[in-house]
Structure 1
Amino acid sequence: MRKTIIASTLALCAFTGVGTAHAVSPAPALPAPTGGHAVGRSVIHLVDPTRPDPWVGGRSRELMVSIWYPARKAVGKRAPYVTPRESELIIKSVPQLKDVPPDTLAGTKTYARADAPPLRCEGGWPLVVMSPGMTLPRATLTSLAEDFASRGYLVAGIEHTYESVATTFPDGRTVTFEAGRGGQTPELGEKVARVRAADTAFVLDALEKDRRWNRLADETRVAMVGHSVGGQSAAHLLPGNRRIRAAVNLDGSYNPKTPAEPVRKPFMMIGGPRQEPAGDGEKGSWDLFWPHVTGDWKRWLTVTGAEHMSFVDYAVLQPQLGLPAFPIDGERSIAITRAYVGAFLDLHLKGKRRPLLDGPSDGYPEVRFW
C-alpha cells in the first residue's frame, strides 16, 4: 500500500540501515559546483512583526535565509555548512550516529565563500527560492544551491523556523522542531502549506525591499524549488503567487492532494520509484494531483534507485558518515537532480532551450518520463 508522506520524518531520516555508523571521514564534503562562476553565500535574519509565529506562542515569525550568488572571485573563508550546535542536534537525532563527533557536519566542505563580493549582472540574476523538507535545515539544499549560483542564479534558501530539527539565530539561540509534534495529519499538511506560502511571500517581499539584493535579483524571473514538503508547498503556491513563474517538486507527496486552483504555469515533479504512476493500483498523491496540472509545459519524472533523500545533500553525506548508501550512488543522484532542475531553470527563467527535458536521455538512463 502506498503511503502519503506530508513531511520528511525525522532529520536525516534517510540515514537508514541497521547498526551503528562505522569510521567516518573527519571532514565530509559536498560535490563541487559545475558552473563557470565562483559562488558567494550570505545569511540574513528576517523578522515579520505583522505575523505571530504559527508554531509557538508569544513571538513574531522570524526566519533565517541563506543567499547563494555568483561572486566576482572565490575569496574569503568557505561558508559553513551548519553551526556546531545545529550539527550536534542533527547527529543526536539519529541513533546510528551516536559515535560520530557532534560537530562533524559543521566541518562539511562547501564551495561558496562567506560574503564574497557579488558579481553583478545587467538586469539582475534570475531568482530561485528553495524550501527544504520537514525537520530538515536549509543547509540540505547546499549542493543544488551552490550549483545553481555557479550557473548564474541568485538562490534564496529558507529555513522554516520550528520546522527544522535545529535553527541557530545571530544572537546564539538555537531553536528546535515544534511543528507537527501531535502527529502527521491532513490538517497539519494543510497548515504547513499555508505557513510556507506565507514565509515565501515574506522572503520575496524582504528581498525586494533590500537594496543589496534587489540590485542583484531580477524579480521578474523567479522560480521555486522544494524538497519533500517544500516541494508540495511550491506546487500549491505556484498558481496563486504572481511573482513565481515556475516550480519544481523534488519527491514531495501532496497534502492536500489537490491545489486550490489548477497549476497552469511551468511545473516539474522529480521523484523516486514510489512516485511512479499507480496504473491499476491504489493511486498515490502524485496520481491525484497530476490531473490538476493543466499548463502547456509540465513534466513527471522518476529516478530509478532513488530514495526520498537522494535529491538533497544527505545522498552524499550518508556514506561519508559511515551509514549505508542509497541504491543509486549519491554523487550520481545529485548530478541528475542538478542537470534536470538546472535545465528547467534555464528554459523557464532564461529562455534557453534544453533538449534534456524533451524525453529520455542516453546520458541519464535512470530518469523515466511519464
Structure 2
Amino acid sequence: MPAPTGDQPVGTTVLYVNDTSRPDPWNLEVKSRALKVTLWYPAKRKDGERAQYMTPKESELYLKGSEISGVPDDTLSKTRTNAVKDAVPTGAKLPLVVLSPGFTKPLSSLTSLAEELASRGYVVAGIDHTYESYVTTLSNGQIADCIACDSDTDPGFGPRVVQGRAADVSFVLDQLPSKWSGSGRIDLSRIAMVGQSIGGAAALAAMIKDPRIRAGIDIDGSTYARIPKSGFSRPFMFVGAKEHVPGGTDASWDRDWRLLTGWKRWIVVADTDHQAFTDAPLLGPSLGIKPAAGDLPAKRSAEIARTYVSAFLNQHLKAEPQPLLNKPSSSYPEVKICAKSCG
C-alpha cells in the first residue's frame, strides 16, 4: 500500500461483535449476526509489526472467488500495509468514520483509504459484512464465504443488502464504546460513513435509519434506500467513476439527488472504472492485471479518492471549510464537480 500522507502514525486492531437480537440474514443456520470490525486510528508510535493485508487462506479464497489465476495463492498475504498491529492509540475526541466495502469484497479492499484517514486524525471502523464477500474470517477462525452471492439475481436483492448493512452499522456503533479499549478517544457526536459500490448505497441507507451518522459518501454505488419525499438534509456526496454521470444509465443517483436538500456534491472522475477507488488498481501489477487503456494510473486514482474523501470529512466532521469541494481544481483536472445543480 502507498504510505498515507497524514502526519500521524497509524495503528490497527480487530474486534468481533455478535448481535444476538437478530438472525443472520444469509445463513439460515446461524441465529445471530456475527461481525468482524477492523479499526484504524492515530497511533503513538510508527514502529512495530505491520498488520497483514490478508492471511494466506483469505488470499487463496479471494483470488479464487475473483477468478484471478496465474499467481501464487498467498500473494495478497504478502502485501505490505502501513498500520502497526494493535498499536497504542493516541489523540482525544477524534471523529469516527464507518467504512463499508463493495459486494463480494472483504473490507481489506479499502485499506489504502482507511490508513489515509487514520493518518489524518480519524478513527475508522470498517465492517466485514459476513457472508457477503468471498472470505471473512470469524472470531473462532471459521471462514465465512459468500452465501449471499447465490441470491444476487433475486428481486429486491439490493434493498435487502443495504437494509441489512444499515442494521450492521447501527449495531457496531452501539457496541464500540464497550468493545474497544480506546473508544474513549472517539467523539460519538461526529460520525460519518463512507462506502464503495453497495457499501456506498449502504451509507445512505444507514444515514436514513440512524441519526447518529452526520454525513456520508457513496463511492460509485447504485442506491436502493428510499429517501423520504420531504427530503434528506444531512450532508452527502456521490463520487462516481466515468460512467456515473448525471443523466447516465444509473437513474438512482438522479432520483436521490433531487431529494437531497442539504449540502451535497456529485463528483465524477474521468478515466476511471468501478474499482478505481479501491485497492484493486494498486494491487493489479502483483496479480498480473493490466489497467485498461486510457485509465488513470492507480496511484492517481488513489490520490483523488484520498483527497476528496478527506476534504468532505474535514468540512463536515471537523468544521474546516474546503474550497476544493466548491469548484474545479487545476490540481485535479480529472474531477468534475456538481453542487446544487447537476446536469
Letter in 1 for 2:284: Q
Alignment partner of 1:79: what SS?
strand
Cα deviation code 1:232-275 (max 9, x no counterpart): 1111222331110000000001235x424632100000011211
Q: Give aligned-pair identity as a percent.
A: 45
Which is worse superposed, 316-325 or 63-72?
316-325
Greater relative contact order (Cα < 8 A, sep 6+): 1
Distance 1:53 1:240, change over 3 A: closer
Distance 1:174 1:362, change over 3 A: same
CA distance in 2, matches of 1:344, 1:283: 23
Which is worse superposed, 43-52 or 336-345?
43-52
Q: Could you say which residue in structure 1 is the equivalent of 2:34?
A: 62
Return the TM-score normalized by structure 2. Answer: 0.94
Q: Could you say which residue in structure 1 is the equivalent of 2:152?
A: 183
Distance 1:143 1:171, change over 3 A: same
Q: Could you say which residue in structure 2 is the equivalent of 1:328?
A: 296
Distance 1:204 1:276, change over 3 A: same
Q: How many residues align?
A: 334
Alignment partner of 2:76: what SS?
helix
Distance 1:179 1:260, change over 3 A: farther
Letter in 2 for 1:128: V
Return the offset for 1:369: 1.3
Is the 2:326–2:337 contact (alpha carbons within 8 Å) kept by the matching residues of 1? Answer: no
Runs of 4+ in 1 over 4 A off after TM superposition: none
Is the 1:180–1:188 contact (alpha carbons within 8 Å) kept by the matching residues of 2? Answer: no
Cα deviation code 1:183-242 (max 9, x no counterpart): 334411111011001000000000023361321211000000000001011112223311
CA distance in 2, matches of 1:284, 1:273: 15
Where in structure 1 are there 5+ consecutive unaligned residues? 1-29
Aligned pairs for 1:136-147 within 5 A = 136-147=105-116
Where in structure 2 are there 5+ consecutive unaligned residues? 339-343
Is the 1:239–1:265 contact (alpha carbons within 8 Å) kept by the matching residues of 2? Answer: no
Is the 2:151–2:157 contact (alpha carbons within 8 Å) kept by the matching residues of 1? Answer: no
CA distance in 2, matches of 1:113, 1:209: 22
Q: Could you say which residue in structure 2 is the equivalent of 1:148?
A: 117
Q: Could you say which residue in structure 1 is the equivalent of 2:277?
A: 311
Q: Could you say which residue in structure 2 is the equivalent of 1:239?
A: 208
Choose from 307, 313, 338 the match for 1:339: 307
Is the 1:40–1:70 contact (alpha carbons within 8 Å) kept by the matching residues of 2? Answer: yes
CA distance in 2, matches of 1:338, 1:130: 13
Alignment partner of 2:288: what SS?
coil
Return the TM-score normalized by structure 1. Answer: 0.87
Return the offset for 1:315: 1.9
CA distance in 2, matches of 1:186, 1:267: 27
Alignment partner of 1:110: what SS?
strand
